[in-house]
Structure 1
């Protein structure tokens, strides 16, 4: 079968062209057809589907040098925001339409994330380790909003699908070096090439910085390789990903410290070390001109070690007992504690997908099976707090928990896009998920558990190309998320867990079910103008929330209903030497049920007679914390010549509630103020293959905060530990935004 340059049978582009008739119906014969954008409609790599026939506001962006995936999405996508809780470029909480993908256990996860069809939400807590994404090898990032069931578990608010480069489409060698603020140095090398049947691609990247806050170094090393083979009817790719990272994220800072020194920290160390090894094999085979088979198998291994210096949550009780015993000098309780965790996760998965192209149908059906196992331990070691608020251990290490968790998920899915006529297409999808979670306590039997979750999730949608420049779309879809081993092991409010996690015998948790409505209009006028307007609403049933009981402890619980609804507006275009974009999102994220939540640092705690002394009453309509209602993104690029580009961009966000003030009744500073950040960047190709580039973040050196929580502070304003817990005060803790920073670099390309 003859192939085109992309490797697909020539009959397929011909069939796709027939589906573009809506433009021809309304256009004159001399009107050029618009460029067709094809997006991924399933987790496995494949042909995809034209964006105009997807009943959702799908967005695709290109990765940028020197920016993490979360940072790039925050600067580009209207509905994306970031909470920089850890103040580390690789540990951001990425929010999209009010749903989160985060590396931090305790953050409710609501986005599924894929790299080349491999799900990278880790099995132990559904977290996403951005430092393990092969940044220098990424070719595109596609965001599919809504509860699209085809993308499987955790697709509550959307799916992020990343594709890596290959040697056939990315030939040559690129070397990139940059340096600048915070002692940051990056070095990246990529090489790709191909022969008649083979192609290869290799990328290596090194990132080092001292960080802008005290005691905040970070070191990230990544390697990626891909070998491809292409025959007349088939192709296959083998990829290997390796990463070794050492991250420091020093977290929130109390207001009393923040006013004196934004670069200071609360307690330290707060260190996370990750090591990844992943192997993936993907193959495609054309049975004939209209039927394609795609298969994938992968193995993923992640080792995580954390070391956290925290205040001792048991200190108040131990201090009271010490006083009752006569306040004997030398027998004082430890003010600090070193919490260590180790998590070794192994994941293995396989999937098979069949796609059929007919005159009016594009039908895809698939099956998948994924299994993970995690070995987890957590230990504690008491010690004294130093003058710099580090922890000097002086007690023996105590093993607090040791857990073995397994997760197995089997799925079957089908999706069909049916063209009623040249202008209207209907889409129907369904996926059945069955998940089994098994916990085994290796220190006893309190944590033992065997839980099974299953659900059939449907989706329907319609697109209508009203004329060549205007299209309408509407959809309804459902998705689910099964509780993870860590959530099932930390769900008892009477036994809160110390993060990253300490476990106790806990009640059963229900799975989360999300139901999404979306409709909108989109259009274009050539390259001069592209626009979209979308209305969406997602309701979560039995949402799993993490309720904090201190700066480092809390528990997971089901909450009746929560809802994220809003409006997305987008404009982009180009004129002469300028191209520009503007994106605005209004988001209303609320609780839709009433309940009592633990929030002892909230001044209104205990005020409602229906709740306990340390609880607040959350009512239907109250805002979810950590999410701004308004987001505005602007970008402008100037191309005075073919070799020079100068750009600027701005992100602005309205205020947000801090965690612990979910009822918005705290008598004090219970919010984070709105803020705007301006950035500039440029690149200049001063010789063939030689480009100098640079960027300045936060040009006006704005002082802002991107996250916050209410908690108790055991230190005075100078940072000295207050030995009497009666002197401790409740405060707002915040995550300070990074100050002005600049980097410059050189890119050399041999093509």
Structure 2
């Protein structure tokens, strides 16, 4: 029998689910062979081997009595088909014959009119131009499904050739499952897969597989890789997977590869999930489905495709709305996937786009006591996450020959995430004594106004010189020993007399007499000290404003420091205190000696000794009104002066009945004034914004030989992530729904008022990963397959992080940024017009420390080795060992708690460093080694024709172990810090 070989790769691609092979006999003797296989959705995801012998006992003399058809669909889908020798008599190409349908020819005669009529009746309207007298019959044969074994198509193995428990979900199973999300689908269909619905939203679940996780929560240790048409969709910020960005009705299949498979690249510690999408060649027509359910659930799924044999279009849309079964938990999902495809003789191209916008509410966990009362309630809300995705991909394949093909892709993936989290604000109850602030009433003056007639722009002052033996002089005066020479110094030196009378021997009754020191009024100061005083005055005049200056910038704001005495007799050569007001027991008078005498500087005498000069600040002109001075008003309406303090009662709220102070936390209500204060914030609202951009390209070379399946590939992926977070204070309604209302908030709580957003972080990170990999499957005999793989990765990470000013492991709480009034106001030449006396709004733009940049480099070489043995037609045995790695994500490197050495050089401790408040806030920033996972996998699998009344039962049994080294976990450091 004469044999002709013909390739028809393109036809295989057009008929993925049902592939057609035709053998022809003259006139009415026609056989049609259809081999139906469980093909994967993409062009290069299928490989098929079929051997079928067909006997035609009624063939005529010139008909082949035996037709042997052998198909080999490799990753490039080329086939060898034997046709009968008479096939050439029809005058059309073998490709046309092989692509023909049974309705493409109708035996109605040989005239031109009959032929024309036949063309109008045929399925392809005569485009194949088949002879009229050809009739096609069909035979169906089922064969094994092939799986792509790498991120790119091009090389496929049957399940029996893969040393691992590969699982698959077909497009038919996806459709029939009616699953709302891909996490729900995998939970239903796959072994070893569970989900964690910690947010109470079906699109925000964590997926656990073999103890590893892939989910949307930043801070969760991620150990699974997820690929969408060859694009790794683990986001660069935290390596998380946003399952809500994958449209269900665009999927043609899902495959799960277990273990630390190095071929799938970084992040594959416990396994890899690959999803493939549909195209217009295999999904002709329109499919639409409308679903509705309780709690306002509505969903529309529509998809459609068309093709002309060379070009194809496919589109899928998924639109979902629900109110949610819990309080205040609506969600909205809009997903669109589109693909344009071209298929030529050797070249295939696909251009696809994925556009997604979701608005999800996941109100998190609920205390058990509240759950018992009402399972649908929430502890605090809303907790919303909005995701947006714009993704483009160009992929292609070139069939060089029957055994060799090249595949590749380039892609651009831009995702944005904006989340708002609402929580009960509990920072008031952390052991602090906090007086409830008051709003400013008409006429209130909380700032003490000081006249300034000096050239330094500081409050007017007296400059008094204090001798080094002032203590001895005061003792002599107290003893009344007029014969003591020290007593003469007291009598003859007005400045000494002033200090002895009103400081050392003061009776706290006699008013201070400044006539003794009038000649020292606004006396010149040394230039260095005048600058020092001016610097300290500006820094401390508002204690709240000083909180907004980051620690690493305070040296720039306060460059002048106090020198030590040369002989070490004093700790500071010069000093100025932060306050200029009176102390509690000073009588009313022009100066406060006991308070202001803390401000001083020294000058040398020339004999090795030093004289001390004390600055005595003149009291404020509005002393009876300014808030720093007044603790409260007594029963007679007279002010009672108190010690200046950030929580000074002068800023406090009083109970109108008892006249006692109110405090925010009842546990510290030592005054007895009560704790119900209107306008004190009860909620904290946190906003996180993450912008991520990933660009990449890859190429893969595939050889499909009789005894070897070999591939070599390379990829490069560039990722960037920008992150920032802000917080503000708000209020909770009766259902613990948080809201922002500046009109309700007390004026002092700047974070609860307009423009009071507190910035926690300004973060951006980039990473560049370059990889090369190879895989070889050797089949020395038909029943034994040995697979080895190797991948080399090089990753470089660069992070820049600016964090809020706190230098401890705990952030400064938001209520600790009050709108304090200025302690002191300056009235130049006695003119106080325009000098503010109320709450001073802080400059919140300066809260972040100077950005710090860090760079990291990682290298890894990961191997795997495994084998499968077909012990019998019904039993397959496999074993495999593989190693995978995951580099720390940009968020883990930017905000990680690391080991630091003690000051004495002893072994490391977890010490405080610069901190960051990321969604799962870690702190410090050490170098983190990459995580390494080694998986050992053995198992059995097989089929049983008859079992428990069922046909074709598939079973598997396996055992595995994964060893991790240098894993990274979320650690709680305290309230609000993880």
Compute the TM-score of the two structures, normalised by the length of structure 2.
Answer: 0.53
The SS at the match of 2:255 is strand
The one of 165, 168, 176 aligned to 1:60:
168
TM-aligned CA distance change 1:208 to 1:426, over 3 Å: same
The SS at the match of 2:735 is coil
Match of 2:870 in 1: 465
The SS at the match of 1:128 is coil
The one of 676, 688, 696 aligned to 1:341:
688
The one of 890, 903, 914 aligned to 1:485:
890
Match of 1:241 in 2: 354
What is the alpha-carbon distance in structure 1 between the residues aligned to residue 766 and residue 47 of structure 2? 45
The one of 939, 962, 969 aligned to 1:545:
969
What is the alpha-carbon distance in structure 2 between the residues aligned to residue 474 and residue 243 of structure 1? 40
Contact 1:99 1:110 in 2 (8 A): yes
TM-aligned CA distance change 1:113 to 1:497, over 3 Å: same
TM-aligned CA distance change 1:317 to 1:42, over 3 Å: same
1:409 aligns to 2:833 (yes or no): no
Shift of 1:314: 3.6
The one of 395, 419, 425 aligned to 2:779:
419
What is the alpha-carbon distance in structure 1 between the residues aligned to residue 319 and residue 917 of structure 2? 32
Match of 2:954 in 1: 530
Contact 1:315 1:334 in 2 (8 A): no
What is the alpha-carbon distance in structure 1 between the residues aligned to residue 266 and residue 429 of structure 2? 41
The SS at the match of 1:487 is helix
Match of 1:371 in 2: 718
Shift of 1:342: 0.8
- Structure that is richer in helix per residue: 2
The one of 306, 311, 315 aligned to 1:202:
315
What is the alpha-carbon distance in structure 2 between the residues aligned to residue 423 and residue 377 of structure 1? 57
The SS at the match of 1:293 is strand
- Structure that is richer in strand per residue: 1
Shift of 1:384: 2.9
What is the alpha-carbon distance in structure 2 between the residues aligned to residue 243 and residue 312 of structure 1? 34
What is the alpha-carbon distance in structure 1 between the residues aligned to residue 880 and residue 796 of structure 2? 30
Shift of 1:3: 1.7
Contact 1:462 1:474 in 2 (8 A): yes
1:51 aligns to 2:411 (yes or no): no
Structure 1 segment 314-393 matched on structure 2, within 5 A: 314-317=427-430, 319-322=432-435, 325=647, 328-329=652-653, 332=664, 334-393=681-740
Contact 2:339 2:350 in 1 (8 A): yes
TM-aligned CA distance change 1:3 to 1:529, over 3 Å: same
Match of 2:11 in 1: 5
What is the alpha-carbon distance in structure 1 between the residues aligned to residue 858 and residue 426 of structure 2? 34
Shift of 1:451: 1.0
Shift of 1:255: 1.1
Which digits, 9 at most, give the CA deviation of each residue in 1:580-612, with x for residues without a partner? xxxxxxxxxxxxxxxxxxxxxxxxxxxxxxxxx
Match of 1:40 in 2: 148
What is the alpha-carbon distance in structure 1 between the residues aligned to residue 766 and residue 73 of structure 2? 46
Match of 1:439 in 2: 799
TM-aligned CA distance change 1:47 to 1:171, over 3 Å: farther
The one of 68, 92, 96 aligned to 2:209:
96
The one of 334, 350, 353 aligned to 1:221:
334
Match of 2:390 in 1: 277
Shift of 1:313: 5.9
TM-aligned CA distance change 1:18 to 1:496, over 3 Å: closer
What is the alpha-carbon distance in structure 2 between the residues aligned to residue 73 and residue 469 of structure 1? 27
Larger CA deviation: 421-430 vs 3-12? 3-12
The SS at the match of 1:169 is coil
Larger Rg: 2
Contact 1:46 1:294 in 2 (8 A): yes
Shift of 1:17: 8.4
Contact 1:496 1:553 in 2 (8 A): no
What is the alpha-carbon distance in structure 1 between the residues aligned to residue 223 and residue 971 of structure 2? 16
Shift of 1:431: 0.5
Query: Could you list the runs of 5+ residues in structure 1 that have no partner in the other structure?
Result: 20-31, 555-751
1:398 aligns to 2:404 (yes or no): no
Shift of 1:205: 1.2
Shift of 1:149: 0.3
Which digits, 9 at most, give the CA deviation of each residue in 1:40-63, with x for residues without a partner? 200012342111100000000132
Shift of 1:553: 3.5
Which digits, 9 at most, give the CA deviation of each residue in 1:640-674, with x for residues without a partner? xxxxxxxxxxxxxxxxxxxxxxxxxxxxxxxxxxx
What is the alpha-carbon distance in structure 2 between the residues aligned to residue 551 and residue 73 of structure 1? 36
What is the alpha-carbon distance in structure 2 between the residues aligned to residue 189 and residue 222 of structure 1? 11
What is the alpha-carbon distance in structure 2 between the residues aligned to residue 284 and residue 529 of structure 1? 36
The SS at the match of 1:508 is coil
Shift of 1:548: 3.3
1:156 aligns to 2:293 (yes or no): no
Shift of 1:485: 1.0
Which digits, 9 at most, give the CA deviation of each residue in 1:712-731, with x for residues without a partner? xxxxxxxxxxxxxxxxxxxx
Which digits, 9 at most, give the CA deviation of each residue in 1:360-384, with x for residues without a partner? 1100110000011111111010223
Shift of 1:463: 0.3
The one of 288, 291, 294 aligned to 1:178:
291
Match of 1:622 in 2: none
Contact 2:681 2:730 in 1 (8 A): yes
The SS at the match of 2:373 is coil
